[in-house]
Amino acid sequence: MNLLKDKVAIVTGAGRGIGRATALGLAREGARVLVNDLGCSAQGEPQGEPCAEEVAAEIRQQGGSAEADRSDVADPEAAAALVERAHATWGAVDILINNAGIATDAPLHRLGAAEWQRSVDIQLSGSFHCLSAAARVMKKAGGGAIVNTTSLAGLRGNWGQVHGSAAAAGVIGLTRSASIELQKYGVRVNAVAPVAKTRLTEGLPLFAHVDSMRAEHIAPVHVFLASELSKDVTGVVVCAAGGRLSVFRLVESLGALKEEEGGLWSAEEIAEHWSAIARS
């Protein structure tokens, strides 16, 4: 119950689903939580729903400390103000969980520029804006934990998810590079690729008859990565699907080396040696 005692946490997209479960989980471990959510539809359309206020109230009813916030993380000034609010309220920012996201499916030939930009703005740019603002505070404090959200579509691709896949893959690059830059300041940066039945995913065929992969399965991973239990873990992507946890790694093939002719391959030689180039 005290893994995060007196720590200050920001959770974006915390009004429902994984974000809500995580905000409650952090609070149960003693963290003071700024619950951020715009109250949008699953497609990112503003609806003014008081979901952030409801989660913050739920935490307070359980004896925890929480405030609600409706800042738009896709707006760099609003993201900076979100971090500043947490710091002004509780005097620190120890944990950032970047969880805000939307769900829109569209095949490549029908994907409009607006849909593309909305996915990138919220998931990738929103994560960057919040991370950048939080990192400045954490550097001065000498430590902190940041957890971003990617997806299996970002790791492997998926039909109708060019925009979401690209944004999620960008989050992996953001996570890796930020972890390298911030490690010397004691700031850990990791990512989670969750597979869970939530408002954003319940319409997918995968979840038609599945209730064993819930938001509550993801929250303990966030708690672990936010706590000192993971003090030596950074730059990692954790895949969480129900009771199964794994770590995603990029793997390079053994490859093939040409030493003759200055190492210049012809297209025909590449074709001839392709099985050796691609072997694992």
Reported as a single tens digit per residue, the pLDDT across 58-95 is 999 999 999 999 999 999 999 999 999 999 999 999 99
31 token code pair: 């963290």
Q: What's the whole-model pTM score?
A: 0.91
CA-derived radius of gyration, the chain: 20
Task: For residue range 94-117, list pLDDT tens digits in order.
Answer: 999 999 987 677 787 888 898 889
Give me the sign of the Cα torsion angle 189, 46, 58, 243. Answer: negative
Q: Tokens 């008859």 map to which residue?
A: 209
Give me the sign of the Cα torsion angle 5, 11, 16, 17. Answer: negative
CB 201 within 8 A of CB 160: no
The count of residues in the chain is 280
CB 155 within 8 A of CB 172: yes
The domain segmentation of the chain, as residue ranges, is 8-249, 252-280
CB 254 within 8 A of CB 280: yes
CATH architecture assignment, domain 8-249? 3-Layer(aba) Sandwich (3.40)
